[in-house]
Structure 1
Amino acid sequence: MSTAVPARRSPRPALLLLVLLAGWLGLGVATAGPAAAHAELVSTDPGEGARLDAAPGQVTLRFTEGVSLGAGYARVLGDDGERVDTGAASVQDDTVTVPLRGDLPDASYVVTYRVISADSHPVSGAYAFVVGDGELADAGAVATDPDADPFVATALPAARALGFAGEAVGLGVPAFLLLCWPAGWASRRMRRLTTAGLATVAGAAVLTFLLQGPYAGGVGLGSLLDPALLSTTGSSAYGLTTLGRGALALLLAALLVPLWRRAAAPQPPETVGVAVLGAGVVLTTAAVGHPVAGSVPVLATAVTAVHVAAMALWLGGLAALLAGLVRPGVEAGELAAALPRWSRIASGSVAALVVTGVVQSVREVGSPAALVSTTYGWILLAKLALVLLLLAAAGVSRVWVQQHLGLTRPRPGCRRRVTAHAVAATGAGAEEPAVAEAARARAAVQARGAVEDVAPLRRTVLVEAAVAAAVLVLSAMLVGTPPARATAAQPVDVTLPLQSSAGESGSVQLSIDPARPGANTLHLYLFDDDGRLAQPADLRVTLTEPEQEIGPLDVDLEPAGPGHWVADGMSIPGAGTWTVAVSVRLGEFTATTASTEFPVR
């Protein structure tokens, strides 16, 4: 009988997650960069609220990233709601150009748009400008943008969740067989499970492709097979990548057919083929949505690919354990050989999930404030809570493996309790053949005892699988939710007419970046009635938050050129709906004002 001495334990994944999350919370604000994913409108010509002497020949919209019209539109409407553009809107990278018909009368016009950002999500809005002396139209009343159909909005994340689950099974089960359980290639359960998983990946890819058109266009399920929408989606990078994922899954299923028939582990060339096709499925999953938009898309896609691969390894291994290995009647030797290997692979997968998950969170959330003030942030917090629960269940499983199969590693210079099969594995080379054979016999006896007591392990694996299913659903929801970094703070860029007792006189263009609590940068441009930069006798800018009874707070301006002023480091005390007001005195008896509200998150 050996004496038990406490052994050194490796850092737990849950502790690693907490350490990384704490570091992010401490540094997130300081290191937050420009918004990533989901295009935002940054400038227009004519500007919002602009008053022109003559109708322009075109309207241009510029966004923070490349966009496409796809199933969307970019239109200009008269105040009666009728179109006044030529219907030939075009896109060049991040700029949308809408040509207008000639000889338009003096009137108010509304620009309305619905474009598709690089991460495949629609971005919409509307604003108005005036030609002549008429009244500025209410853009919201003239142009109504369709919301996503509720059935489409529900079906799309459900299709994504199905695809994630299919990948976990269709890729993770073969990986488990290759790395941990070669005898499992003879299992019909493993064949059916893998085939069902890959078929689900292909089916989910087709369903996602079909739903993308109605989602982008803001229409219902009745347009699922609309040829125009199908053509638009099929010509986009998102659509091609999605269909490519389904095709790769079917190719992988076809490659596995002879292996199932042979009921034997693949040969090296076949292993390479399985690995290449599996990597293709992973990469096509990572190369859509948020990772391909915003800054450093190549790095973001690579991080997401590692995240998806680690997810498939972990969750696919759980599925294989439940369906084929951790069940009554399994051979003792198979369990004793497979579980220690699986425990090490699962630990590595969890570590990869934690690290890549934190990297993704920093990129998509940006700051702790955004984590608790946006829909994306709250879904991510719910996912983190489930992941912690998942790690706890995985820890229970690991303890079972350590106690029954002797996986724990000793501290250097110390002794610990080991099982007989562990002694046989490490000492066979130093012992006489007869002694080694006796050790292997004792290992088999102990392993059989472990199989008889496998019920606790099966229960914890079932808990892991159930929680993992919920994590996949939340992951699918995150894919379709605007990133917290993009929604938490939206820069202000607006042109306002200056009002006086005698009417309108000139305009002012304001930009506030990033429009969040703390230091901001304000740029102000002042124009006269002829659209030329003007130099006033006096200029004042104030900030007010009426609901919280804050302000007016004076903003310190510094001249930055003719008709241009800057307030670098303008402080906004907190979140809310703020009003920025501009007072301009052009002469001794002429004063004009302009104001607008903007959200601070």
Structure 2
Amino acid sequence: MRRGSLLLALLAGLLLAGVGLAGPAAAHATLVSTDPGEGARLETAPDAVTLEFSEGVSLGAGYARVVTADGDRVDTGAADVDDGVLTIPLRSDLPDAGYLVSYRVVSADSHPISGTFSFVVGDGELVASGASAGEGDVDPVVGALLPAARWLGFGGLALAVGIPVLALACWPGGWASRRLRRLATAGTVAVGVSSAVGLLLQGPYAAGSGLSAIFDPALLSATASSGVGWAGFVRLLLVAELWALLLPAWRRGSGPSRGALVLAGALALGLVGSTAAVGHPVAGPWPVLAVLVTAVHVGAMVVWLGGLAGLLSGALRPETPADDVAAVLTRFSRLAFTSVVALVVSGIVQTVREVASPTALLTTAYGRLLMIKIAFVLVALTAAGVSRVWVQQRLGVRRSRPAGRSSLTAHAFAATADGPGDDGPADEAADARRRQQAEGVTEHLPSLRRSVSAELLVAVVVLALSAILVATPPARSAVAQPVDVTLPLQGGAGESGTVQISVDPARPGANTLHLYLFDDEGRLTQPAGIEVALTEPGQQLGPFDVDLEPAGPGHYVGDGTDIPGAGTWTLTVTVRVDEFTATTARTTFPVR
């Protein structure tokens, strides 16, 4: 127990240190800037509207369009997405009027993002925008079914892969168990159903449609061409091949041949990899490393939970010989310990990447869900510790060195092993110990089954929380990040220099605003006058004027700039070049 307590303390320390030291980084796409900006008034119509996101996005089953106040579309051709920049080409004959830009894109981690903003050409009237950039609305039924399908898939993967691993590494006689065979079959079916349902639901999820659109050819085509779609098809194919490969071994009641075993291992790794290579790991920094860490996490989960299910349904049955139970337990406990260590360490790495700061654990939905999951994991580890103590106490055997045998203890993390010895009293003593061990297993098996049942039940809840977390924006993308952007100043005869804007920390309350004005040659320049205003169109807040103080040539500071509340705020800078000419720049940024 002391070793386990020290391990948990060490892992908790690593988690807190990692989260505390991790720097801010973006994951899950957010809108960074638009051109024209929100509420911009242009003298001439632009050739295109561009939207820049914090990470790669795709249109997929979404849309991008520009319409008039009457709802007539003025975009032409197909919108283009390149490295997180969405470009919507416009007609060349746009009259003076207000125009509304609406979009729905899919981020690299498969979540939809939608929003609207408007701009004006000439003397037209501004069109009210109905929604700020943020999470795209999702049909509630689709939103509930997707996590359920993922949960089914996670559990099915644990059975389809974890049960054969248990039979191969811990219980060779398990290949003849009908219970294990049925569990592996159920897991295979669950993975197949989960993959198929996920493929059907991804299109409506991305498009914001209901269940009536699951067979829409356009949505199915968009899903098939996406990373999520490819991963789903790969899982369907791999799980079917794995079951077909292992079926002869289940039927004859013995393990697969060496060639079949190598191929089965490759298929199992492919299943784990295709599960890890979607969602949050593929977005944000270090995607290759993130996918590898997630694959380790998924693989460890599969071995641990699949083994627990196999133990409970097969090896720990009253009809299983006590000698077999003892052998299986000692082997699986060692495997389970390795899996748990891999699971926790990889989970820490994932937490550091997806949370990034201690504040995000408490202030975001992702962080709070993650803390609940960690609490359940600790409960599961406690139950696992009880099982380990049971094995240590009931199966522990010490052999003396003078008899020519090595001193070993059969416990949860090291299998018993017999060294060379001679026939005679030593063998009689060994037989007596085995009989005593068998009697202990038989007498106390019900208590072990209760402990393993509790461990497995809590793990099922952890899987459900994991399925929900997959669909939740990472905590670090939901925590405000300082704004630092350089924008062109527009108006008068066209562009006239640039303005660099920084807002820190971009949270409700007091913030520090810095502005740097540059001319066309990149030199700091002093204007005739400058004004800054903040608005939140979605909540109809503002405009709020920002008090500025000069801090040097072309440099202005708004110390203590107050942002009243959370939302997607628009900051507008108006620079007076002379008495008759003014230029403007706008940027939108999230405040959380």
TM-score normalised by the chain length of structure 1: 0.84
Q: Secondary structure, in 3 states, of the residue corresponding to 1:433?
A: coil
Q: 1:247 to 1:427 in 2, by over 3 A?
A: closer
Paired with 1:305 and 1:77, the residues of 2 have a C-alpha distance of 44
Paired with 1:343 and 1:54, the residues of 2 have a C-alpha distance of 72
Structure 2 counterpart of 1:488: 479
> Which consecutive unaligned segments of at least 5 residues does structure 2 have?
401-405, 537-543
Paired with 2:229 and 2:101, the residues of 1 have a C-alpha distance of 28
Q: 1:137 to 1:266 in 2, by over 3 A?
A: same
- Deviation, 1:587, is 6.7
Residue 438 (structure 1) aligned with residue 428 (structure 2):
yes
Residue 251 (structure 1) aligned with residue 241 (structure 2):
yes
Q: 1:426 to 1:306 in 2, by over 3 A?
A: closer
Q: 1:143 to 1:432 in 2, by over 3 A?
A: closer
Structure 2 counterpart of 1:156: 146
Structure 1 counterpart of 2:369: 379
Q: 1:312 to 1:204 in 2, by over 3 A?
A: same
Paired with 1:223 and 1:197, the residues of 2 have a C-alpha distance of 28
Q: Contact 2:507/2:566 (CA < 8 Å) preserved in 1?
A: no
Structure 1 counterpart of 2:252: 262
One-letter code aligned to 2:453: L
- Deviation, 1:107, is 0.9
Structure 2 counterpart of 1:119: 109
Q: 1:409 to 1:593 in 2, by over 3 A?
A: farther
Q: Secondary structure, in 3 states, of the residue corresponding to 2:363?
A: coil
Paired with 2:182 and 2:65, the residues of 1 have a C-alpha distance of 52
The worse-fitting range, judged by mean Cα deviation, of 261-270 and 157-166 is 261-270
Structure 2 counterpart of 1:474: 465
Residue 129 (structure 1) aligned with residue 125 (structure 2):
no
Structure 1 counterpart of 2:179: 189
Paired with 2:52 and 2:133, the residues of 1 have a C-alpha distance of 20
Paired with 1:424 and 1:590, the residues of 2 have a C-alpha distance of 83
- Deviation, 1:384, is 0.5
Residue 515 (structure 1) aligned with residue 506 (structure 2):
yes
Cα RMSD for the two superposed structures: 4.1
Q: Secondary structure, in 3 states, of the residue corresponding to 2:202?
A: helix
Structure 2 counterpart of 1:344: 334
- Deviation, 1:90, is 1.9
Q: Contact 2:19/2:355 (CA < 8 Å) preserved in 1?
A: no
Paired with 1:24 and 1:237, the residues of 2 have a C-alpha distance of 30
Task: Determine which of 447, 450, 473 is the counterpart of 1:459.
Answer: 450
Q: Secondary structure, in 3 states, of the residue corresponding to 1:475?
A: helix
Structure 1 counterpart of 2:220: 230
Structure 2 counterpart of 1:306: 296
- Deviation, 1:175, is 0.6
Paired with 1:398 and 1:508, the residues of 2 have a C-alpha distance of 64
Paired with 1:257 and 1:425, the residues of 2 have a C-alpha distance of 31
Q: 1:537 to 1:219 in 2, by over 3 A?
A: same
One-letter code aligned to 2:454: V
The worse-fitting range, judged by mean Cα deviation, of 580-589 and 154-163 is 580-589
Paired with 2:72 and 2:259, the residues of 1 have a C-alpha distance of 64
Matches within 5 A, 1:38-437: 38-140=28-130, 147-406=137-396, 428-429=419-420, 431-437=421-427
Task: Determine which of 14, 17, 21 is the counterpart of 2:11.
Answer: 17
Paired with 2:134 and 2:534, the residues of 1 have a C-alpha distance of 31
Q: Secondary structure, in 3 states, of the residue corresponding to 1:148?
A: coil
Q: Contact 1:164/1:472 (CA < 8 Å) preserved in 2?
A: yes
Q: Contact 2:399/2:408 (CA < 8 Å) preserved in 1?
A: no
Q: Contact 1:542/1:555 (CA < 8 Å) preserved in 2?
A: no
One-letter code aligned to 2:463: L
One-letter code aligned to 1:247: L
Q: For residues 138-171 of structure 1, what are the alpha-carbon distances to aligned partners after superposition, in whole Å with 9 as ceiling and x for unaligned?
A: 2117999972100000000100010000011111
Q: 1:581 to 1:67 in 2, by over 3 A?
A: closer
Q: Contact 1:328/1:452 (CA < 8 Å) preserved in 2?
A: no
- Deviation, 1:380, is 0.5
One-letter code aligned to 1:66: G
Q: Contact 1:513/1:520 (CA < 8 Å) preserved in 2?
A: yes
Q: 1:595 to 1:265 in 2, by over 3 A?
A: closer
Paired with 2:262 and 2:6, the residues of 1 have a C-alpha distance of 32
One-letter code aligned to 1:23: A
Q: 1:245 to 1:314 in 2, by over 3 A?
A: same
Q: Contact 2:397/2:408 (CA < 8 Å) preserved in 1?
A: no
Paired with 2:398 and 2:37, the residues of 1 have a C-alpha distance of 67
TM-score normalised by the chain length of structure 2: 0.85
Matches within 5 A, 1:545-564: none
Paired with 1:594 and 1:230, the residues of 2 have a C-alpha distance of 41
State, as a whole percentage, how many aligned pairs show the same letter.
55
Q: 1:315 to 1:521 in 2, by over 3 A?
A: farther
Paired with 2:311 and 2:18, the residues of 1 have a C-alpha distance of 35
Q: Contact 1:163/1:204 (CA < 8 Å) preserved in 2?
A: yes
Q: Secondary structure, in 3 states, of the residue corresponding to 1:377?
A: helix
Q: Secondary structure, in 3 states, of the residue corresponding to 2:130?
A: helix
- Deviation, 1:51, is 1.4
Q: 1:571 to 1:190 in 2, by over 3 A?
A: farther
Q: 1:78 to 1:427 in 2, by over 3 A?
A: closer
